Structure 1
Amino acid sequence: MTVLHSLDKYYDRLASRGDVVPPGYSVEPIGFVIELNEDGTVANVSERRDPSGKRAKLERLPKWFGRQGQGSTPFLLWDNTGYALGVTKKTSEKVLKDVAAFKALHLNALADQTDIGLVALRNFVEKWTPEAFVEPLFQKSFIDQNLAFKLVNESRLLHERPAAIQLIERLRQPKDSDPVFCLVTGRHEAGVRLHPKIKGVDDTSVADVPLVSFNENAFWSYGKEQGRNAPTSEAAAFRYGAALNRLLDRQTGNRLKIADATVTYWADAEGVGEAAAAEAENLFGALMEPPSDTAEAEKIRNVLAEIAKGRPLTEIDPKLEPTTRFHILGLSPNAARLSVRYWMTDEFGKFAEKLARHYEDISIEPAPWGGRLPSIRFLLIKTTALMEKPENVPPHLAGEVTRAVLEGLPYPRTMLTAAIMRLRAGDPPHTGWHAAIIKACINRSAKTEKEKLPVARDPDNEYPAYQLGRLFAVLEAAQYAALGRVNASIVDRYYGAASATPARVFGPLLRNVRNHVSDATKRGKGKWIEARLNEIMSKLDPNLPKTLKLEDQGRFAVGYYHERAWRGPGQPDIETLDIAEEETK
């Protein structure tokens, strides 16, 4: 099923709930309303704000086309102050053309109207001049905002009057539009030339951009211009645009952000019912962005554990139906249109299983994220982003990781590389975030069980790289026991080299560790260190490897984290040298 076809179907679900505008309308912000007397004079001007009082109020307004290029394209019965009043912060020749186009449209459209509201607007348009935009009626803060009209002492806006509704329905019908074979509906219908604009995608150059567009001749083919290259009926174009704009609305629960991608998701209610579709969306949102509340997070962990055991979703929650068709769309900003970062569609039960497997793959002890499960977004920020800033997450990597999680594919090798490079660049290896994703990357690509890394500390692990990571953690503990906190520990100075070229680094460190053990013993600390050193060294060949390949550098990181975080019997906290706790004080 294609993206547009799925969105077209979702429109029906929204319409059945009354959550979407009908054809010919759009939800837009209105900053103020001009109240008119019957003769067209201004009786009052009232500001419009949403319940928060900070933003313009969203209204359902007649809008069945978008603005394209530098031409003047006014909207019917509403617009911004530049078009409707000829007033903007920056006056230009275009503003004069815009206000003239608004006046011409309304004088022509309202010429034969007898409704008192529409007649009042026609009289207003005939008499209005920009010089009338003065205080106290009109505030400077109104400039460049959208405005609508209504009759004084009425609550409804002009476009909500029955006569206005009939006028809108007549004017929005396509004129001289050749029928096309619509690729969405499969019927011959009036085709759309310009596809709808989409709002709600973060970091775009303008507020609304098309998902489908052909803005250069080079993109046309077989002599087809603009939207004819992707033949879509006007009705289908409106429906998919309205559905997607609704999904991307920040007030809905069907939207999240992963790196540069704005991700939306929805379920089909067909065959399963509205309750099952809504429950699937709610659970998917919680699995992708686990709640911070401890009790709610525990519920999600329990659900994932049950799914991982193979328990049917209907037993976990009777409202859930595993065969519910589910869709996930990731959109990224592009120059003149939106870029589809990924599009996935499958049964909801399959996606739930893939997410359960992902959380099982990244599990490590002790868990670095405490009681809350880490979202894909946060995992990427902690392990791949410079200074842990969201904008520094590599966009293509984020897309590949998200696809791997939701389609059950091996994690991209670039994820393993990125996590290891961040460790070598100075990210603290003791946090465990990098170790968790490194473990997941290696285990999903492993060909045998032997190659897989353990969840918890494994003293008998056969891989030298893992044992070298353990050894490095004990060497760090010896230094800390002997000297306490220092400006630059061996981790700060040698972690990158030790994990990549152990033979070159461990020799000097092992020669020096005897002095640290002796000093620590004099201080009454680290009595366990020498025995642990001997235990690990007994598992290593005297000739340490000169270099470690990427996967072995990952094993080094996991071994280091396991050993450093381990709390064994007879090893009180003060002697396990919990540097992570010390550094947060």
Structure 2
Amino acid sequence: MTILQALDGYYHRLAQRGEVTAPGWSPEKFGWCIVLDADGAPVDVYDLHDTSGKKPKPKLYSVPAAVKRTVGISANFLWDKTAYVLGRTAGEGKRTAQEHAAFVDMHIERLAGQKDAGLKALLSFLQNWQPERFDEAPFRPEMLDANILFRLEGERGFIHERAAARALVEAAKDGAKAEGISCLVTGKQALLARLHPTIKGVEGAQSSGAALVSFNLDAFTSLGKDQGANAPTSEIAAFRYGTALNHMLTRDGPNRVRRPIGDATVVFWADASNAEAAEDAEDLFGDALDPPTDAEEAGKIGSLLDALAQGRPLEKLRPRFTPGTRFHVLGLSPNAARLSVRFWLADDFEVFARHLGDHYRDMHIEPRPRGWSGAPSVNWLLMKTTALGEKFENIPPLLAGEVMRSVLTGARYPQSWLAAAIIRLRAGDDPLSGWHVSVIRAVLTRDHRKKFQKEDVPVSLAPDEPNKAYQLGRLFAVLENAQRLALGKINATIRDRYFGAASATPASVFPLLLRGAQNHLARLRKDGKDKWIEREIEDILDRLTLDLPRSLPLAEQGRFAVGYYHQRKEQFKGRPEEAGHDDNGAEGDD
């Protein structure tokens, strides 16, 4: 099933619940309504903004479908922005006069002979309106460039909602003339959509909307076809897929991941004969991909994913779920006036749920990273482990798409994620936060499961682990601790100076560190604190048999970081007199 076919099918489910507009109509944002008397004179301006939040926001209203504007001038029916409706704009407005004339001419033509009081009032208003009138009451400067509706004085409904207006909209839709084609989406004979709908709400794309399907250059066309004829889609199918996608892309839509993953805005939906089962699948997926902020609820999601990873059937964990529910995930990225499909995945929901459980299991490490309250979102993981300054906008977009695809398909994690996490550690990120180590373990654990790595990675401290890189990480942690206990609070520890070099070229760094450790141990002997540290060092060196690798490949550098994390987090257990010190001698080991 293609993206457009899946969206077309989702439209029908939304339409059954009355959540989307019918063909010929579209939801648009409005903040202002002009009130007209029976003769078409403006008597008031009504503020439509939603004032329930911190600042007023325009509201969505169902209006006659918006026209697709490219470079030409084309007016909407019964509504539009102030440049078209009133001939005024906040900007320079080089085309404002032509836009207003187009709006007036179109309405004079379509409203001629109408007997409805509201339509007659609107026609009279347009025939008598002068743009200079905007500078007088009741009009306000903040109306400029906003969409405008009309209402007849003394009535609650808008003029476009009147029966006569609806009849005109339906007549225009049914009487449209276009080339008949066999629709690629439905397979039926229907009228060709020359231009596809505008998609709004994708982060980073043009605020006026962008095209998912478009042909505006000869290089994009074939066989002499013009625009939409290159991918023949019927007008009704184009309307349905555009309406369904725009519905999901609304700012607080339940089927949208709140924050883009890299540069991709992600939406998802289920196909199921049972609406409750579809909603349950969507709720679970949304919470797993973008966990709730409430720690208790996030913990419940984490427990559910853990159960899935252990092989428990989804229908036993979620009684409302229906086996065989089809699920779709779409990631869209901005590309000038168009949209790029960053990823498109479709499968049974059980498969997605199982892969999310596997991801949660692969990320597991003890102790948990700081702030881990449930199942961390992919976005959070990427921000913590790859983004400069831990800023979401600095997440590498291509990497984000690859990681998301791996999480949802169960495929091998990209090796570039492992490299990025290690690079951030070498650049000075704190390995004791646990997030980098959790990602490193996830990449290496999945590689082991898929036979790309011979050795698995321990979940928690494993003193008997045979891997040399892991033991070197442990050794580095013990040497750092010896320095910290001997010198107290200092500006830079050996971790600050040598972590990257020690993990990459152990043979050239550890002899230097071991010589320095003798001075630290000598100072500790005076206080009687050296015995357990010396035992730790000797035990690890015995496992290494003094055979230090000259260099470590990327995967082994990752195991070094895991060993370091485990040792640093576990070494003070049972030693409460030492547990309160952090790396610089301050309170709090974490």
What corresponds to 1:306 in structure 2?
307
CA distance in 2, matches of 1:420, 1:505: 18
Alignment map for 1:381-420 (pairs within 5 Å) = 381-420=383-422
Amino acid at match of 1:554: G
What corresponds to 2:15 in structure 1?
15
Amino acid at match of 1:45: V
* Residue 264 of structure 1, aligned match among 264, 267, 271: 267
Does residue 478 in structure 1 map to residue 479 in structure 2? Answer: no
Once the two structures are TM-superposed, the CA of residue 523 in structure 1 deviates from its matched residue by 4.0
Amino acid at match of 1:144: D
What corresponds to 1:463 in structure 2?
467
CA distance in 1, matches of 2:577, 2:208: 54
Deviates more, 1:397-406 or 1:430-439: 430-439
Deviations 1:18-49 (A, max 9, x none): 10011111111111111111111112111111
CA distance in 1, matches of 2:312, 2:528: 52
Amino acid at match of 1:129: Q
Alignment map for 1:502-521 (pairs within 5 Å) = 502-521=506-525
Does residue 37 in structure 1 map to residue 28 in structure 2? Answer: no
Change (3 A) 1:149 1:532: same
Contact 2:201 / 2:207 at 8 angstroms: preserved in 1? no
What corresponds to 2:59 in structure 1?
57
Once the two structures are TM-superposed, the CA of residue 462 in structure 1 deviates from its matched residue by 1.1
What corresponds to 1:122 in structure 2?
123
Contact 1:481 / 1:575 at 8 angstroms: preserved in 2? no
Once the two structures are TM-superposed, the CA of residue 492 in structure 1 deviates from its matched residue by 0.6
Once the two structures are TM-superposed, the CA of residue 237 in structure 1 deviates from its matched residue by 0.1
Deviations 1:430-487 (A, max 9, x none): 2111111111111211228851101011111111111000000011101100111211
Once the two structures are TM-superposed, the CA of residue 518 in structure 1 deviates from its matched residue by 1.9
Contact 1:322 / 1:350 at 8 angstroms: preserved in 2? no
SS at match of 2:62: strand
Contact 2:262 / 2:397 at 8 angstroms: preserved in 1? yes
What corresponds to 1:203 in structure 2?
204
RMSD: 1.7
Contact 2:444 / 2:453 at 8 angstroms: preserved in 1? no
Unaligned runs of 5+ in 2: none
What corresponds to 1:279 in structure 2?
280
Change (3 A) 1:105 1:486: same
Alignment map for 1:556-567 (pairs within 5 Å) = 556-567=560-571
SS at match of 2:76: coil
SS at match of 2:543: coil
SS at match of 2:13: helix
Deviates more, 1:282-291 or 1:567-576: 567-576
Once the two structures are TM-superposed, the CA of residue 13 in structure 1 deviates from its matched residue by 0.5
CA distance in 1, matches of 2:181, 2:414: 42
Alignment map for 1:520-539 (pairs within 5 Å) = 520-525=524-529, 527-539=531-543
Does residue 294 in structure 1 map to residue 289 in structure 2? Answer: no
Contact 2:34 / 2:42 at 8 angstroms: preserved in 1? yes
Contact 1:174 / 1:190 at 8 angstroms: preserved in 2? no
Contact 1:502 / 1:546 at 8 angstroms: preserved in 2? yes
CA distance in 1, matches of 2:304, 2:559: 30
Change (3 A) 1:569 1:88: closer
Once the two structures are TM-superposed, the CA of residue 216 in structure 1 deviates from its matched residue by 1.3
CA distance in 2, matches of 1:528, 1:450: 33
Contact 2:193 / 2:228 at 8 angstroms: preserved in 1? yes
Alignment map for 1:313-328 (pairs within 5 Å) = 313-328=314-329
What corresponds to 1:96 in structure 2?
97
Contact 1:526 / 1:575 at 8 angstroms: preserved in 2? no
Change (3 A) 1:146 1:573: farther
CA distance in 2, matches of 1:258, 1:75: 35
Change (3 A) 1:174 1:183: farther
Change (3 A) 1:372 1:258: same
CA distance in 1, matches of 2:570, 2:174: 71
Amino acid at match of 1:445: D
SS at match of 1:315: helix
Contact 1:62 / 1:168 at 8 angstroms: preserved in 2? yes
Contact 2:437 / 2:561 at 8 angstroms: preserved in 1? yes
TM-score by length of 1: 0.97
Contact 1:198 / 1:210 at 8 angstroms: preserved in 2? yes
Deviations 1:527-577 (A, max 9, x none): 421110011010113231111011110110111101111146543262584
CA distance in 2, matches of 1:65, 1:169: 15
CA distance in 1, matches of 2:175, 2:379: 44
Contact 1:259 / 1:398 at 8 angstroms: preserved in 2? yes
Amino acid at match of 1:124: F
CA distance in 1, matches of 2:484, 2:121: 83
Contact 2:314 / 2:350 at 8 angstroms: preserved in 1? yes
Does residue 47 in structure 1 map to residue 47 in structure 2? Answer: yes
Contact 1:567 / 1:576 at 8 angstroms: preserved in 2? no
SS at match of 1:379: helix
TM-score by length of 2: 0.96
Once the two structures are TM-superposed, the CA of residue 295 in structure 1 deviates from its matched residue by 1.8
SS at match of 2:190: strand
Deviates more, 1:426-435 or 1:47-56: 47-56
CA distance in 2, matches of 1:47, 1:438: 54
Once the two structures are TM-superposed, the CA of residue 584 in structure 1 deviates from its matched residue by 8.7
CA distance in 1, matches of 2:296, 2:508: 49
Alignment map for 1:69-148 (pairs within 5 Å) = 69=71, 71-148=72-149
